[in-house]
Structure 1
Amino acid sequence: MEVIFFLLITFAVATGFLWTVQQMVFKGKWTYFIFFLAAYLPFYITSLSVVFLATGSPLLVSFFQMSKEFIVLISGLVFVIYQRKPVEYPFRLQSTDWFMLAFVSLAILFLFLPIGQAGFINKALYFKSILIPSLVYLLGRNTRFEDFELLRLFQIIFVIAIGAFLVNLVENFFLNAHLQQFTGYALFNEVINDIEPEGNYNLTWTFETTNAMKRLGSFFSDPLELASSVLMGFAAGLIWFLTSERSHQWKYLLVMLCCIGSLVFASSRASFAAFFLMIFFIALVFKLYKLIGFGFLTLIIFACYVIFFATEDFYYYVVDTLTMSDTSSIGHVVEWALALESMITKPLGIGLAMSGNFGSVNEELRVGGENQFLIYGVQLGWAGMLLYIATLFSAIWTSIYVFKNSENLNLARLAFVAGTLKAGLLLPLFTANVEIYTYVSWVSWWMVGISVREYSRIQVESYSNKIVI
């Protein structure tokens, strides 16, 4: 069976990769790299697991691993080649550009300066996790898409959201097990990532609650990535629901319901809170104050369910979460304390690959690791953390400005998803290394990039109109 899955995955990835490269190199459609990323990244770890289970070859796994970076680098190279006059390229840097540039520049300094105990290879691999999303943002910053191309991206996001929920249903009602228990996930982690199987399901502790309740991850790498990623699907479904004809709204309502269902199966407390934060943020943006009431009503219904109808395990899971008395919550607090202590004693940072859950971080050297802000703060100092925060908030503000002011409906929809998703992810960033979730991280940074491009166009057009007047 694993051989059949391996052949299917190999065919799908190879076909998608070659088609994308052909479109980029021979037709100049370098922007099409985003289609490959959006379709492949949700299945990334599952694909690697199946490939290793079927072949046992780390070399073959590395080809699948590098395909996502290759597609970004090829896109960047083709973009440069197709510039008719590269030296005359117009630079109109906005605040998000400046913050992103400063953050990456600081990371480059830490890469080459003799700071920290991690080896150069580990530092270079960690730097790659900062550089590639920045390149994706840069490519998005220069992307000019037609309406049908924007629609194609949204369709991929919708298919991923619905597909993830359908797999959750299969896991819960037919398999009564995690999909990862059949894909070779534990073997892949043990051999390739040097992570021993843990927990009651021989995967990792991420796949269960503190009382051993299953947390499902669908075809994503784990439940936390699933929970963060479906927030993007929900935001996309909501904006299409609000801006489409009534006869078509049911399709986007279905997408939103699937996303909520996946949130329930993933049982991620931070993402649940992020969901309500996103609802509140959307209500403020749209001035839909009834939506805030809907959010509170949902909370009341949830509370009644927990008190009167939920199983005993789920009841105590919620109570332990609210009282911060479960081992997971205590673990977060301990990691935050260690990170803050490091930032206070060494405010300039202790070097790359010294914090977080990324593969190149040596466990013996790791300081903190369950808070994206503090992870950057430990490694790059207070300056690095503040630059990252400034980049995020600038991205949110710019995206919402574009949503409100762009005359292009699909670009406005995309900017809405970028802004609300980044706002919604602020809470998961406190409890997880969210930037390693490549699907939601890379695609959302691309969305921010294209939103900043539209913002720049609006500003130039507005300035030109003032001069004419």
Structure 2
Amino acid sequence: MGVIFFILIAFSVAAGFLWTLQEMIFKGKWTYFIFFLAAFLPFYITTLSVTFLATGSAAIVSLFQISKELIVLIAGLVFVIYQKKIFSYPLRMQATDWFMLAFIGLALIFLFLPIGQASFTNKALYFKSILIPSLIYLLGRNTPFGDLELKSLFQIIFIIAIGAFLMNLVENYLLNAHLQQFTGYALFNQEINDIEPQGNYNLTWTFETTNAMKRLGSFFSDPLELASSVLMGFAAGLIWFLTSERDQQWKYLLVMLCCIGSLVFASSRASFAAFFLMIFFVALVFKLYKLIGIGILSLLLFVGYVIFFAPEDFYFYVVDTLTLADSSSVGHVVEWVLALNSMVTNPMGIGLAMSGNFGSVTDELRVGGENQFLIYGVQLGWMGMFLYIATLFSGIWTSIYVFKNSENLNLARMAFVAGTVKAGLLLPLFTANVEIYTYVSWVSWWMVGLSVREYSRLQLEAFREELAI
């Protein structure tokens, strides 16, 4: 059975990769790399696991591993080749561009400076994890997509969101087990990542709550990645629901319900909170103050239910979460304290590959690791953390500006998703190394880049109108 799954997956990935290469190289459509990433990244770890289970070959696994970076690098190369006058290419830098370049420049300096105890190889691998999303942002920044192409990307996002929920249903009601228990996930982690099976399900502790209840991850790498990723599906479904004809709205309502269902199956408290933060953010953007009032009322009703009517187990689960008394919350706090202590002691940073959960960070050297902001702060110092925060918030602001001001409906929709997803992920960023969740991280950074491109066009258009006056 594993061999059959491997053949199907290998054929699908190879076909998608080759089709993308054909479109990029022979037709100059370097922008199409984003279609491959959006369709492949949700299945990335499942693909690697099934491949190793079927072949037992680390070399074959590595072919699939490098495909995602390779497609980005080829897209960048084709972009340069197809520019007839590359040195006269118009550059209109915006705030997000400057912050992103400064962040990457600082990371590049840390790569070559003799700072930290990590090997140069591990530092280079970690730098790659920072560089690739930045290249994706840059490519998005130069992407001239039309309506059909934008709609196609939305369709991929919708299919992923619905497919993830359907797989959750299969896991919960047909298999009564995690999909990862059948894909060779534990074996892959043990042999390739040197991570021993953990927890009651012989996967990792991420796949269960503190009372050993299953947390489902669908075909994503784990429940936390699923929970973060469906926020993008929900935001996409929401904006299409709000901007479509009434007789078409049911399709996007279905997408949103599937995303909420996956959130429930993933049982991620940070992502639940992020979901409500995103709803609050949307209410502010649309000035739906009644929605904010309904949200506050719902919160009060929930508090009343917990205090007066909830079962004892659920009551203490909520209380332990709020008071940080459960082991998971305590673990977050411990990691934060370690990271902050390092930042106070070494405000200039202790070097790349010294914090976080990325593969090149060894357990012996890891300092902190469950807060994306602090992970960068530990490695790149306070300056690195603030540059990352500035890039993030300027990207959110720019995306929402484009959503409100662009006359291109589908571009405005994409900008809305970029802004709301990045805003919604602010809470998960406090409790997880979210940038390693490549699907939601890379695709949303591409969306931010696309939004900054449109923002630059709008600013230039406004400047020309002022000159005409």
Instruction: Specify the TM-score bucket, using the shorter chain as the normaliser.
Output: over 0.9
Residue in 2 that maps onto 1:137: 137
- In structure 2, distance between residues paired with 1:28 and 1:301: 56
Partner SS for 1:16: helix
- In structure 1, distance between residues paired with 2:200 and 2:315: 20
Which structure 2 residues correspond to residues 4-403 of structure 1 after superposition, within 5 A? 4-300=4-300, 302-303=302-303, 313-403=313-403
- In structure 1, distance between residues paired with 2:332 and 2:324: 10
- In structure 2, distance between residues paired with 1:85 and 1:4: 48
Q: Offset of 1:314 from its aligned partner?
A: 4.2
Q: Structure 1 pair 377/229, CA: closer, same or farther in 2 (3 Å)?
A: same
Partner SS for 1:65: helix
Q: Structure 1 pair 69/266, CA: closer, same or farther in 2 (3 Å)?
A: same
Q: Offset of 1:318 from its aligned partner?
A: 2.4
- In structure 2, distance between residues paired with 1:406 and 1:241: 18
Q: Percent identity?
A: 83
- In structure 2, distance between residues paired with 1:339 and 1:424: 23
In the alignment, residue 387 of structure 2 is paired with which amino acid? L
Q: Offset of 1:294 from its aligned partner?
A: 3.3
- Using the size of structure 2 for normalisation, the TM-score is 0.98
Q: Offset of 1:296 from its aligned partner?
A: 2.9
Partner SS for 1:212: coil
- In structure 2, distance between residues paired with 1:421 and 1:73: 25
Which digits, 9 at most, give the CA deviation of each residue in 1:293-321, with x for residues without a partner?
33234435655665677665544332321
Q: Structure 1 pair 221/306, CA: closer, same or farther in 2 (3 Å)?
A: farther
Q: Offset of 1:403 from its aligned partner?
A: 0.3
CA contact (8 A) 1:216 1:223 kept: yes
Which digits, 9 at most, give the CA deviation of each residue in 1:254-297, with x for residues without a partner?
11111011001101011011011111110000001122133234
Which digits, 9 at most, give the CA deviation of each residue in 1:366-418, with x for residues without a partner?
00000000000000000000000000000000000000000000000000000
List runs of 5+ in structure 2 lacking aligned partners. Answer: none
CA contact (8 A) 1:209 1:317 kept: no
In the alignment, residue 63 of structure 2 is paired with which amino acid? F
Q: Structure 1 pair 316/175, CA: closer, same or farther in 2 (3 Å)?
A: farther
- In structure 2, distance between residues paired with 1:111 and 1:414: 34
CA RMSD of aligned residues (A): 1.2
Q: Structure 1 pair 303/51, CA: closer, same or farther in 2 (3 Å)?
A: farther
In the alignment, residue 382 of structure 2 is paired with which amino acid? W
Q: Offset of 1:331 from its aligned partner?
A: 0.4
- In structure 2, distance between residues paired with 1:310 and 1:176: 26
- In structure 2, distance between residues paired with 1:293 and 1:235: 20
- In structure 2, distance between residues paired with 1:256 and 1:310: 27
Which digits, 9 at most, give the CA deviation of each residue in 1:144-163, with x for residues without a partner?
00100000000000000000
Q: Structure 1 pair 163/458, CA: closer, same or farther in 2 (3 Å)?
A: same
- In structure 2, distance between residues paired with 1:295 and 1:372: 28
Which structure 2 residues correspond to residues 453-464 of structure 1 after superposition, within 5 A? 453-464=453-464
Q: Offset of 1:91 from its aligned partner?
A: 1.1
In the alignment, residue 97 of structure 1 is paired with which amino acid? D
Q: Structure 1 pair 305/257, CA: closer, same or farther in 2 (3 Å)?
A: farther
Partner SS for 2:397: helix
Which digits, 9 at most, give the CA deviation of each residue in 1:323-361, with x for residues without a partner?
210000000000000000000000000000000000000
Q: Structure 1 pair 26/306, CA: closer, same or farther in 2 (3 Å)?
A: farther
Q: Structure 1 pair 244/325, CA: closer, same or farther in 2 (3 Å)?
A: same
Q: Structure 1 pair 109/84, CA: closer, same or farther in 2 (3 Å)?
A: same
In the alignment, residue 103 of structure 1 is paired with which amino acid? F
Q: Structure 1 pair 307/22, CA: closer, same or farther in 2 (3 Å)?
A: farther
